[in-house]
A and B are shown apart, each in its own frame.
Chain A
Amino acid sequence: MTVRSTFQRIEQFLFYRESDRWVSVLRIGLGLQVICLSLALRKDWTYLLSNGGRALISRDLTEAALNAESSFIPRLGWLIEIGNWLNVPEFVTLWLAWLVLMLAGCLLLVGLFSRIAAIVAWFLYLCVVRSVGYFSYGVDNLTIIGLFYLMIAPLSDRMSLDSIFWHRSSNRDLLPFVRRILQIHLCLIYFFGGVSKLAGIGWWNGTSLWRALTVPPFHFVNPDLVVRWKMFLPATGLAICALELFYPIFIWLRPTRTFWLVSICAMHLMIGLTMGMYLFALIMIVLNTAAFGPGLLRAKNPSLERHVAAHV
Chain B
Amino acid sequence: MPHARKNVDKELAGFSRCGQADPAEVSSAIGFHCAQAQPLRRYRYLIGFALAHLLLVLTVCLRDTFATFALAPTILPTALKPFWNGADAAASFVLGEDLQLGNPARNVVTFYLNAAGIEAGYGFFAPNVPSNYKLVFELHYADSRTEYELPHVADAATAFRLESLLDRISEVSYEPMRQTMFQMLTYPVWQRHPDAISVRAVLGYVIWPSPEQFQRGEKETFEPVYAYDFDLRPSVPSVARP
- Chain A residues in contact with chain B, CB under 8 A? 2-4, 6-8, 10-11, 14-15, 40-44, 47-48, 53, 55-58, 61, 68-74, 126, 130, 132, 134-145, 147-148, 173-174, 177, 180-181, 184-185, 188-193, 195-204, 206-212, 214-217, 223, 226-227, 230, 233, 276-279
Chain B residues contacting A43 (CB-CB under 8 Å) are: 153-155, 158
How many whole Å from B227's CB to the nearest CB in chain A? Answer: 19
Chain A residues contacting B21 (CB-CB under 8 Å) are: 2-3
How many whole Å from A167's CB to the nearest CB in chain B? Answer: 21
Q: By the criterion CB–CB under 8 Å, are A192 and B76 in contact?
A: no
Q: Given A44-B154, A53-B187, A134-B169, verify A15-B128 contact (CB < 8 Å).
A: no
* Residue of chain B at shortest CB distance from A40: B157
Chain B stretch 99-118: residues in CB contact (< 8 A) with chain A: 101, 106-108, 110-111, 114-118
Q: By the criterion CB–CB under 8 Å, are A199 and B74 in contact?
A: yes
Q: By the criterion CB–CB under 8 Å, are B168 and A134 in contact?
A: yes
Assembled-state Cα–Cα distance A6/B108 (Å): 34
Q: By the criterion CB–CB under 8 Å, are B164 and A188 in contact?
A: no
How many whole Å from A18's CB to the nearest CB in chain B? Answer: 12
Q: Given A2-B29, A40-B157, A211-B208, verify A200-B72 contact (CB < 8 Å).
A: yes
Assembled-state Cα–Cα distance A201/B101 (Å): 37
Pick 7 A–B contacts, CB within 8 A, sort by A: A15-B39, A70-B106, A177-B50, A188-B54, A196-B121, A203-B128, A210-B211
A-B CB proximity, top 10 nearest: A200-B127, A144-B117, A196-B126, A43-B154, A40-B157, A196-B123, A4-B29, A202-B128, A15-B39, A135-B161
How many whole Å from B177's CB to the nearest CB in chain A? Answer: 8
The answer to the question of B188 belonging to the interface, with a C-beta cut-off of 8 Å to chain A, is yes
How many whole Å from A175's CB to the nearest CB in chain B? Answer: 11
Q: By the criterion CB–CB under 8 Å, are A72 and B107 in contact?
A: yes
* Residue of chain B at shortest CB distance from A233: B211
Q: Which of B53, B114, B129, B165 contacts A212 (CB 8 A)?
A: B129
Q: By the criterion CB–CB under 8 Å, are A3 and B127 in contact?
A: no
Assembled-state Cα–Cα distance A14/B37 (Å): 11
Q: Which of A61, A192, A206, A230 contacts B181 (CB 8 A)?
A: A61
Assembled-state Cα–Cα distance A255/B21 (Å): 35
Chain B residues contacting A143 (CB-CB under 8 Å) are: 117
The answer to the question of B83 belonging to the interface, with a C-beta cut-off of 8 Å to chain A, is no
- Residue interface bits B165-209, CB-to-A below 8 A is 1, else 0: 100110000000000110011011001000000000000001010
Interface locus among B2-10, B57-65, B140-148, B230-238: B57-65
Mostly, the A contact residues are helix
Q: How many residues of B contact A (CB 8 A)?
A: 83
Assembled-state Cα–Cα distance A189/B95 (Å): 18
Chain A residues contacting B114 (CB-CB under 8 Å) are: 69-70, 73, 126, 130
Q: By the criterion CB–CB under 8 Å, are B164 and A276 in contact?
A: no
Q: By the criterion CB–CB under 8 Å, are A199 and B76 in contact?
A: yes
* Residue of chain B at shortest CB distance from A132: B161
Q: A181-B53, A276-B156 are in contact. List 9 more A-B contacts (CB 8 A).
A: A43-B155, A56-B185, A70-B106, A148-B117, A177-B39, A177-B50, A192-B65, A199-B74, A201-B128
Chain A residues contacting B75 (CB-CB under 8 Å) are: 199-201, 204
Q: By the criterion CB–CB under 8 Å, are B158 and A48 in contact?
A: yes
Assembled-state Cα–Cα distance A44/B116 (Å): 25
Chain A residues contacting B129 (CB-CB under 8 Å) are: 202, 207-209, 211-212, 215
The answer to the question of B149 belonging to the interface, with a C-beta cut-off of 8 Å to chain A, is no
Chain B residues contacting A180 (CB-CB under 8 Å) are: 50
Q: By the criterion CB–CB under 8 Å, are B157 and A72 in contact?
A: no
Q: Given A126-B115, A195-B65, verify A174-B206 contact (CB < 8 Å).
A: no
Chain A residues contacting B11 (CB-CB under 8 Å) are: none
Chain A residues contacting B187 (CB-CB under 8 Å) are: 53
Assembled-state Cα–Cα distance A43/B76 (Å): 44
Assembled-state Cα–Cα distance A215/B69 (Å): 24
Q: Which of B32, B74, B159 contacts A200 (CB 8 A)?
A: B74
The answer to the question of B122 belonging to the interface, with a C-beta cut-off of 8 Å to chain A, is yes
Q: By the criterion CB–CB under 8 Å, are B158 and A192 in contact?
A: no
Assembled-state Cα–Cα distance A41/B43 (Å): 40
Q: By the criterion CB–CB under 8 Å, are A192 and B64 in contact?
A: yes
* Residue of chain A at shortest CB distance from B42: A173
Assembled-state Cα–Cα distance A57/B182 (Å): 9
Chain A residues contacting B26 (CB-CB under 8 Å) are: 3
Chain B residues contacting A191 (CB-CB under 8 Å) are: 61
Chain B stretch 69-88: residues in CB contact (< 8 A) with chain A: 69, 72-76
Q: Given A148-B116, A181-B54, verify A57-B184 contact (CB < 8 Å).
A: yes
Chain B residues contacting A126 (CB-CB under 8 Å) are: 114-115, 117
